[in-house]
Amino acid sequence: MLNWKRTIQAALTLILMGWATPVLSSPIHHIIDVRGNVQVKKAQWKDFYQAESGITLSGEDKIKLGSNASVTVYCSDRNKWTVEQPGTYLVSEGCPEGEAVIRSCPDCNNDTRRPPGIKEEGLQQLPYVISPRNTNVFNDSLTIRWNEVSGATQYKVQVGDWEGETRETQIVYDGELEPGEFYAVEIVADNGVASTDEDDGQNSWFIVLEEEEAETLREKVAAIAQDELTQEQEGLILAYFYRGNELNAEAIQVLEGLVKSGSQTATVYQLLGDIYQRVGLNLMAKEVYQQGLALTVEEEKSEVKAMMQWGLGEVEYVLGNRDEAVEWLEKAKANYLALGKQLNQEEEKLINKVLGRN
């Protein structure tokens, strides 16, 4: 296990010190309020379709308003753009390019998914780490969470050189956290199973932000909190902000709060599912995608619905449920094609892999 720890730490150190080529991310804008007949056309779509609250836009996308309609867009620079007159508008008209506070995740779309490993039933019996996992963290009080294991009554937790024991499925880490340092997390249940049985611990780690970067990000979070947004609007904006800065644990906490409060916005579930999937929490991604899809039953053409269908297909594939994966990927493909969006090379490659064509 020490070998992979050293490998990950070495690779991340190169990135943090700027020795690797940086990946540029794009500014993203969010629809936060839709009233009446408001439609959007993304650059890769062939037609306009009904706007959905919470979706993201680029400067190249278009918005079309009918009579007595209005829409408010939260721009990447934190300015709000409200349109109330009928007509068609390019998003860049109201959200010009500038210093972007909210950016897309630099490498969230990289195809780094692992092939099927532990099947769903086996994964349920492991104390896999839930949080913090595959993430940057602030130098704050830290709560370690993991999956409950049937039959286990005691858990031993190790974070670097720190150890703790508990009968619960979470524990407060009370050791020191050094800025810029990498920490591996391992949970061992008293029935002999360990979190590293999941994927050899490849996702069970976190990095503490350097103090200067942490302070800068905190200031931006505080500024967003002053922007007179509803709880759900602020939660989504913060989640995208955290995700774009690889603060996956923070993003998950915010989105889980919105789900727990009973959010009816499909984008909340789609984004949470995407982040779960990205950090390797496939069982949790499956559950939250299913919750989100239940909110879109009556929607025939929806990008958010297609994204959740695609995500669910990927998750089912990783969990070893090939038939279910095929079903969801085909549904997503049909939904995307209805929107006029063609699958890219990597997406087609995944479908062919699941279908056994390569």
What does the pLDDT look like over 306-347, one tens digit per residue? 999 999 999 999 998 999 999 999 999 999 998 888 887 878
Radius of gyration, alpha carbons of the chain = 21
In a domain, 112, yes or no: no
In whole angstroms, what is the distance from residue 256 CA to residue 261 CA? 9
**Domain presence at residue 111:** no
Q: Round to whole Å and give the CA distance between 312 and 314.
A: 5
- Whether residues 201 and 216 fall in one domain: no
Structure tokens given for 227: 């922007």
> Are 221 and 297 in a shared domain?
yes
- 216 and 202, same structural domain? no
Q: Where a domain ends, among 79, 94, 109?
A: 94
Give the CATH number for residue 152: 2.60.40.10
Task: State whether the Cα torsion 14-18-20-26 is positive or negative.
Answer: positive
pLDDT of 22 above 50: no
Residue 13 falls inside a structural domain? no
Query: 77 in helix, strand or coil?
Result: coil
DSSP state, residue 103? B
* b/e sequence 278-290, b meaning 16+ C-beta within 10 Å: bbbbbbbbbbbbe
- The residue ranking higher by pLDDT, 79 or 357, is 79
Range of the structural domain that residue 146 is part of: 117-210
Q: Is residue 109 part of a domain?
A: no
Q: Is residue 20 very low, low, confident or very high in pLDDT (cuts 50, 70, 90)?
A: very low
Q: Is residue 234 part of a domain?
A: yes
Q: What is the dihedral of CA 75, 80, 85, 90, to 10 degrees?
A: -10
pTM over the 0.75 mark:
yes
Same domain flag for 246 and 332: yes
| Domains: count for the chain | 3
| pLDDT classification of 252: cutoffs 50, 70, 90 | very high
Residues 6 or more apart whose Cβ sits within 8 Å of residue 32: 53, 54, 72, 73, 74, 80, 229, 233, 236, 237
The answer to whether 123 and 319 have CB atoms below 8 angstroms apart is: yes
| Same domain membership, residue 216 and residue 206 | no
Q: Are strands 29-35 and 56-57 parallel, antiparallel or unpaired?
A: antiparallel
Query: At which of 210, 229, 262 does a domain end?
Result: 210
Domain holding 314: CATH number? 1.25.40.10
Q: Are residues 52 and 140 in the same domain?
A: no
Residue 53, pLDDT > 50, answer yes
Lookup result for tokens 């130098």: 139
Domain membership of residue 18 (yes or no) is no
Q: Which among 153, 179, 210 is the end of a domain?
A: 210
Q: Are residues 238 and 205 part of one domain?
A: no
CA 38 to chain centre: 26
Identify whether 108 is part of a domain.
Answer: no
pLDDT for 73-131, tens place per residue?
A: 999 999 999 999 999 999 999 998 777 888 887 666 554 555 446 778 888 899 999 99
